[in-house]
């Protein structure tokens, strides 16, 4: 099925801030960034016309340290994970940040809110939607909170069938709105992001809070928000 739409992804932008701290002026910063760039893998040819925010997931083929829903661990092709709605992307990010704290019980909660950038991308892709028939009869496998052993082989089959995108219900968004996993960078219809938002995320013993000024949003994910995942359910919140 061919689908056109807009998806949202949220990232923590640190690269320019980090190099700024190490240099005295813009010229030195530019030289340092060029040196760093030479140490990285080449951008795939089919992605080189795109903004770095769009091609970054496809640049780093290895090593992928642990498997994700539609990508195996190891030397595997990249996947651009995004969401139909920015608030769904925020929910996904909050879950993964809390997962880090669950796996690092000695790490203290940050004192200040972290700043994150949400950006939108337009796409047009041959896709499948796991929330619809005939796939939805196996929704328990597609939306399992910790196991991806059904989803990863499906992504392999989709790639071989020239499917560029997989749409699926978010496991982390309480509203179960849709995510999209781009298996290649071919679907992007514009080389630049088409929308941006700034979010501030604060994590603590009561959960996560996400705030956006434009448009005004105030999201709260309490201790129970992601408790269907056993790793979050077993979290030591007081630290």
Cβ contact 6:85 at 8 Å: no
Q: Over the chain (239 residues), what is each successive 10-residue block's mean pLDDT?
A: 96 64 73 70 93 92 84 93 98 98 96 95 98 96 96 97 97 97 97 96 98 96 97 96
Continuous segment of H or E residues that includes residue 121: strand 114-129
Alpha carbons 188 and 65: distance in angstroms, whole number: 26
Quote the pLDDT of residue 64: 82
Verify cis geometry, omega within 30 degrees of 0, for the bond prior to 164.
no
Quote the pLDDT of residue 195: 94
Quote the pLDDT of residue 115: 94
Quote the pLDDT of residue 37: 65
Could you give the residue ranges of the DSSP H alpha helices within the chain?
A: 15-21, 26-38, 52-59, 86-103, 139-142, 151-160, 230-233
Quote the pLDDT of residue 27: 80
Quote the pLDDT of residue 61: 65
Alpha carbons 23 and 125: distance in angstroms, whole number: 42
Task: Please work out, in degrees rounded to the nearest 5, the angle formed at the alpha carbon of residue 203 by the alpha carbons of 199 and 205.
Answer: 155
């Amino acid at each position: 099925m061919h689908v056109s739409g807009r998806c949202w992804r949220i990232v923590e932008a640190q690269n320019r801030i980090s190099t700024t701290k190490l240099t005295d002026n813009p010229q030195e910063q530019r030289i340092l960034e060029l040196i760093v760039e030479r140490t990285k893998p080449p951008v795939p040819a089919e992605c080189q016309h795109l903004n770095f925010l769009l091609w970054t997931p496809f640049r780093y083929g290895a090593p992928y340290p642990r498997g994700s829903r539609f990508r195996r661990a190891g030397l595997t092709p990249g996947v651009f994970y995004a969401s139909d709605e920015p608030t769904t992307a925020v929910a996904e990010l909050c879950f993964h940040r809390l997962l880090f704290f669950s796996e690092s019980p000695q790490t203290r909660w940050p004192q200040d809110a972290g700043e994150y950038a949400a950006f939108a991308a337009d796409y047009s892709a041959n896709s499948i939607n796991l929330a619809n028939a005939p796939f939805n009869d196996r929704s328990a496998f597609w939306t399992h909170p910790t196991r991806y052993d059904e989803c990863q082989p499906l992504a392999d089959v989709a790639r071989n069938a020239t499917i560029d995108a997989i749409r699926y219900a978010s496991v982390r968004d309480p509203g179960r709105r849709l995510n999209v996993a781009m298996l290649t960078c071919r679907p992007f219809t514009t080389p630049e992001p088409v929308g941006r938002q700034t979010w501030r995320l604060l994590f603590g013993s009561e959960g996560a809070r996400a705030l956006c000024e434009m448009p005004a949003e105030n999201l709260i994910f309490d201790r129970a928000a992601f408790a269907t995942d056993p790793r979050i359910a077993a979290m030591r919140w007081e630290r």
